[in-house]
Structure 1
């Protein structure tokens, strides 16, 4: 799949997610001060919805975007989609299930840097990020395999 195709697929998925989230109809919002598992009341927040809409809009391709920008936007959109994981109420599990796609997003961005960046320090940092994040993802998946109920 080309970066553009991945981007468009991620954009379509995120648009569906954000449209539902912006409408407040996913069941993930708690209205009326009901406390979720963590005990902190969550409410529907119009400012949050506007911020989410701006963020999604910023990830859409724009005329004249460089190939690297398109690839970074696709990585961002895929990460946002993949981080849409249900919470379990177990802070140890939730930490890992949400950090794994976050780390995968860092790897995707580092791969874009390796493909497009010219600065040797940027390239070395990208290589280090890939190695570190791959190792941490493996550790988190191993922990989940042993400890998830």
Structure 2
């Protein structure tokens, strides 16, 4: 990860806002995942963790759309938002149908 970080900092086209939002999204995901109380049920734990993981990807993709310039990366960001928004909804629906102790 450090190699990617250095590239972003050295890229003259990067904006301060974009990397900070992406980093904040990762930090938020890490906090949520670390604070989650695991149920011991693999399916439930997987679904809960993936909601946080996918939301972080959505937030990072939104930051890319705000500041990115490369058409390939912008297209990928739009695809990530669409696909992972749908997957978050599916995971949340599954969690709603499969109650668990938190």
Aligned pair count reads: 88
Question: Using CA pairs below 8 Å that are at least 6 residues apart, which structure has the higher relative contact order?
Answer: 2
Spell out the pairing of 1:43-54 with structure 2 (5 A cutoff).
Answer: none
Q: TM-score, normalised on structure 1?
A: 0.55
Residue ranges of structure 1 left out of the alignment (5+ in a row): 1-54, 59-64
Runs ≥4 in structure 1, deviation > 4 angstroms? Answer: none
Aligned: 1:78 with 2:28: yes
Partner of 1:118: 69
Partner of 1:21: none
CA distance in 1, matches of 2:20, 2:90: 31
Q: TM-score, normalised on structure 2?
A: 0.79
CA distance in 2, matches of 1:66, 1:127: 21
Partner of 1:9: none
CA-based RMSD of the aligned residues comes to 1.9
